[in-house]
Structure 1
Amino acid sequence: MQHTHSSRRQFLGLMGAGLAGSALVLPGAASAADTLGSRPVRIIVPFPAGGGGDTLTRMVGDALSQQLKLPVVVENKPGGDGVIAVQELLRAAPDGHTIMFGTPSALLYTPQLTPKRPPYDPLKDLAPITHFSSFTYYVYVSDALPVKTMGELVDYVRKHPGKVAYGTGDSTQLVAMAQLCDQAKLDMIHVHYKGTSQAFTDFMGGRIQVMVGGFDLEEQSKGKALPLATLLPERSPLKPNVPTLGEAGLAPVTTRAWTAFFAPAKTPVPIIDQLNKAFAATFQNPKLQDFFKSRGSVLQASTPEAMHELLVEQMPVFAKAIKTLNLYRD
């Protein structure tokens, strides 16, 4: 779908970017505000250096630098489930030279944990630039349980309520499993970890019997982890024999595993467009495409509008899971 320049101004204006057009009042100001300057572009990452999100961002940042013909610097701001990174972004000038690698944890989960005092409004304070990647999660069961299918796991949990523990390593996993347990009426113990690697350690040690993980967890576990179902609406070509939840006779989950890039809300529309086009061109790099595909991810750009719509769609999904698990903070 083609979007006019004025419609994009209106779209970003809904998120607090209405000042983007005010520069037109001053002669010469518009041209200065409508393009990136000569300074480096800083990408804030809400994770420590060396992690998966950091590594992928640095790879894309190197290629993005060639498209923009500007240096691209990755800066790690971990902590606070993404709050520290978002607040760093919001302190920056809305000129396109500071952007952020965003995930559901920072954009959908954390802001809704404190409904009376949310740290920021992701729909008003941030401007989406583009979708980055999406990936497949699977429900895995330990070989310690006598089950081989999702149906057998459901039967086992119903016969042993409160006895089976499952672990999640990020908010997307947490919300997906909260939906699954709620819809299938499963009484399991939930253990929330700061990362999938910590959940995996306890999974291998027998402290949890079910977990959510990526396509390579089965190999990492040396056969101890059996994938029972994919959380995507369709089967993944990486594991074509693993059914969807729907094929297993269960209601599908509606959460989506994604990453994206964001700017401060008042960033001028032409700069958002410039960054969007640069990312889209970067993502077409065959080596990047092959690398992401080998990791079970899809590298795909989107319009800013489409990314905004995904946030709007997913906000109530996360809100319901937070309420179901009573995860609210004071």
Structure 2
Amino acid sequence: MGREIMKFRQLCFVVVAVVLGLGLLAPSVSSAKWPDRPITLIIPYVPGATGDITARMLADEMEKILGVKIIPSNKPGASAVLGTDAAVRAKKDGYTLVYAGASALVYAPITNPQIVKYDPFKDLEPLGFHYYFPQGIGVKADAPWKNFQEMVEHAKKNPGQIRVSTIGVGSTPHFVLEMIQSITGTKMTHVPFEGGESVVTAVMGGHVEATCDGFAKIKPHMEAGRMRFLLTTTKLPGYPQFPTITELGYKEPLFATWFALYAAAGIPEEARNALVPAIEKAVKATKERVDKMGSLCEYKSPAELRKMTEEEYRVGVETAKKMNLTPKK
């Protein structure tokens, strides 16, 4: 009898030990290190566009830091609004990010609000700023205008004759083009494209006379002698010969576009805590390559990014009203 009681006690001890062991294991399963599976990065630009190239560059660096695959997914359209909207509608678990920028978060909501179904400040969570993408006016190397002022004079004498390509209605370049026309008192014809190199090839093929786009996109064609750059929105290190519009005597400055990483608002704290420092490291790792392309890589924290975007939106709204760029009701 004593031996049976002893065996029973031993059995109870084993059962209790197993139960306790399972209890100890449960928290470790639920608190597994984030991320524990691939992350989708929505790129709202066409393959081969500058934003696509730099988004993939950043994703490669983040993969090394986070230790999981980051899967790029191109969703272009509507001045990057379609891809940004897809990220807003994604599950709020941190496993879907979007490489958004000024077009989708500032200028499309101002100039083309009917296509923007999200609130850029309530529905998206900023995770880190990547770089500024200076815009400007580029023309074919054999264009009759040697500088921006000559182009302005021609536009004044020939309203609507100069066709200018951009990456789409409501995009930052479109906003910049509208500002240029308002500031200089000219009338040009806007020719929107979906994005990518199409805006530049349209110039090269003679389908338009000029493009309003990023310096980084025009730079290789300029260096090959196929294009000339007449005006920049932001002073470019190493290229003092390209004037800003205020250097030419106009009072109103132009805006540059930019790119940053976002997720749908409401992602878990563990996701944010992993993503924010990883993005900072990845941005700094890409700086030399991004700067060499003709852009200005400059990391900003989520708080700095939010403040910058809110201020740019405020100034953009004021500018649009003053220049009659807001849509008619």
> TM exceeds 0.5?
yes
Partner of 1:164: 162
1:95: Cα distance to partner?
Answer: 2.5
1:47: Cα distance to partner?
Answer: 2.6
Please state if 1:205 is matched with 2:181.
Answer: no
The one-letter code sitting in structure 2 at the alignment partner of 1:166 is V
Q: Any gaps of 5 or more consecutive residues in structure 2? A: 1-25
- SS of 2:263 mapped into structure 1: strand
In the TM superposition, 1:185-204 aligns within 5 A as 185-195=185-195, 197-204=197-204
Instruction: Work out the CA distance in 1 between the residues paired with 2:246 and 2:32.
Output: 47
1:259: Cα distance to partner?
Answer: 0.4
1:305: Cα distance to partner?
Answer: 1.5
The one-letter code sitting in structure 1 at the alignment partner of 2:308 is L
- SS of 1:187 mapped into structure 2: coil
Instruction: Work out the CA distance in 1 between the residues paired with 2:114 and 2:75.
Output: 25
Q: Structure 2 vs 1, CA of residues 122 and 138 (structure 1 numbering), >3 Å: closer, same or farther?
A: same
The one-letter code sitting in structure 1 at the alignment partner of 2:160 is G
Maintained 8 Å contact 2:103/2:257: no
Consecutive aligned runs of 4 or more in structure 1 exceeding 6 Å deviation = 31-35
Instruction: Work out the CA distance in 2 between the residues paired with 1:80 and 1:216.
Output: 20
Partner of 1:96: 94
In the TM superposition, 1:240-319 aligns within 5 A as 240-269=240-269, 271-285=271-285, 288-316=286-314, 319=317
1:236: Cα distance to partner?
Answer: 1.0
Alignment counterpart, residue 87 of structure 1, candidates 73, 85, 88: 85
The one-letter code sitting in structure 1 at the alignment partner of 2:57 is M
1:248-289: CA deviation from partner (whole Å, max 9, x where unpaired): 22234342210000011112455324311111112222xx32
Partner of 2:218: 217
The one-letter code sitting in structure 2 at the alignment partner of 1:229 is L
Q: TM-score when scaled to structure 1?
A: 0.77
1:194: Cα distance to partner?
Answer: 1.9
- SS of 2:34 mapped into structure 1: coil
Instruction: Work out the CA distance in 1 between the residues paired with 2:108 and 2:32.
Output: 32
1:77: Cα distance to partner?
Answer: 2.5
Larger radius of gyration: 2
- SS of 2:261 mapped into structure 1: strand
In the TM superposition, 1:41-60 aligns within 5 A as 41-60=39-58
Partner of 1:6: none
1:317: Cα distance to partner?
Answer: 5.2
- SS of 1:101 mapped into structure 2: strand
Maintained 8 Å contact 2:135/2:256: no
The one-letter code sitting in structure 2 at the alignment partner of 1:164 is I
Q: Structure 2 vs 1, CA of residues 154 and 69 (structure 1 numbering), >3 Å: closer, same or farther?
A: same
1:64: Cα distance to partner?
Answer: 0.9
The one-letter code sitting in structure 1 at the alignment partner of 2:146 is K
- SS of 1:237 mapped into structure 2: coil
Instruction: Work out the CA distance in 1 between the residues paired with 2:55 and 2:292.
Output: 16
Instruction: Work out the CA distance in 1 between the residues paired with 2:78 and 2:177.
Output: 22
Maintained 8 Å contact 2:44/2:74: yes
Instruction: Work out the CA distance in 2 between the residues paired with 1:34 and 1:256.
Output: 41
Please state if 1:72 is matched with 2:41.
Answer: no
Instruction: Work out the CA distance in 2 between the residues paired with 1:205 and 1:37.
Output: 47
Q: Structure 2 vs 1, CA of residues 317 and 181 (structure 1 numbering), >3 Å: closer, same or farther?
A: farther
The one-letter code sitting in structure 2 at the alignment partner of 1:300 is E
Q: TM-score when scaled to structure 2?
A: 0.77
Please state if 1:173 is matched with 2:151.
Answer: no
Aligned residues: 297
